[in-house]
Structure 1
Amino acid sequence: MTALADAAPGDALEPRTATITRADLVRYAGASGDLNPIHWNERVATEVGLPGVIAHGMFTMALAARYVADLAGDPTAVVAFSTRFTRPVVVPDDDTGAAVELGGKVTDVADDGTRTVSVTATHEGKGVLGKAVATVRLA
């Protein structure tokens, strides 16, 4: 795997795993103001047809953006991030939580050194973010 600062188009980045627990969802709900009970109440989630409590899509997106920022070594290096939410991350009510596998590939390096990174995020082998792209400007 290649360090982001040295990456060229086509280079894969070091994969990482992020874990989401119910406690994470409660903290995120409080911080974001998104108190929808599908993110913390099993009964409500299943009543609306979900397989269980699901992570906030924006929380999953934030994990992917943080993954890229960590690889860049600077949280301000990610200057743009876009994605589509393709599948929910079901978070069990246990101490283990849900694992989200993150990966990336550099797709472009501009003349000024700005990198475009295609990011993957999967849960239980299925993509949870689609067309996830980060623009990274390294110092």
Structure 2
Amino acid sequence: MVSYGTPSYDAVAVGDELPAQSFPVTRDTLVRYAGASGDFNPIHWSERFATSVGLPDVIAHGMFTMAAAARVVTDWTGDPGALVDYGVRFTKPVVVPDDDEGALIEVSAKIAVKDDEARTVRVDLTAMSAGQKVLGMARAVVRLP
């Protein structure tokens, strides 16, 4: 985990970029996530099943992808409780091949809006995997001291 400490509301500006992060995803990662989440849908572990329903291969859980992107924000604030709203649209799956490398989710983020009255900032996130945007309209609202 990368932790940067809680930034001050007055110290951030629209356009500021948060530190980008990359998250490796392997089949082992998916098995562990399935056990923790209880989501054992075979599209996340069975290549045969995933391709039979039209997917290119096994795909990462959407909630795993969403959580990875949120980590960029929570690591930046140093306080997961500062996150007051978060939403995404799933645009493409993260395809996880059965090899030694798996997939990589690359997340960047920047401050898009400041709300002086609420002392919140909206952070817009971009999540990419294999050169494709995997989350759309990924936005987090954070309350800063």
- The answer to whether TM tops 0.5 is yes
CA distance in 1, matches of 2:91, 2:144: 29
CA distance in 1, matches of 2:111, 2:78: 16
- Return the letter of the residue paired with 2:36: A
What is the DSSP-based 3-state SS (H/G/I as helix, E as strand, rest coil) of the residue aligned with 1:119? strand
For residues 88-115 of structure 1, give each alpha carbon's deviation from its aligned partner in whole angstroms, at most 9, with x where no partner exists: 0001112322111100110112224311
Q: Which residue of 1 aligns with 2:69?
A: 64
**Where do 5+ consecutive residues of structure 1 fail to align?**
none
Task: Establish whether residue 51 from structure 1 lines up as the match of residue 56 from structure 2.
Answer: yes
- Return the letter of the residue paired with 1:123: S
Task: Establish whether residue 95 from structure 1 lines up as the match of residue 108 from structure 2.
Answer: no
What is the DSSP-based 3-state SS (H/G/I as helix, E as strand, rest coil) of the residue aligned with 2:81? coil
- Among 117, 122, 132, which residue is 1:116 paired with? 122
What is the DSSP-based 3-state SS (H/G/I as helix, E as strand, rest coil) of the residue aligned with 2:39? coil
Q: Which residue of 2 aligns with 1:32?
A: 37
What is the DSSP-based 3-state SS (H/G/I as helix, E as strand, rest coil) of the residue aligned with 2:100? coil
**Where do 5+ consecutive residues of structure 2 fail to align?**
none
For normalisation by structure 2, the TM-score amounts to: 0.88
CA distance in 2, matches of 1:94, 1:75: 33
Moved over 4 A (4+): none
What is the DSSP-based 3-state SS (H/G/I as helix, E as strand, rest coil) of the residue aligned with 1:88? coil
Aligned length: 137
For normalisation by structure 1, the TM-score amounts to: 0.91
CA distance in 1, matches of 2:64, 2:36: 11
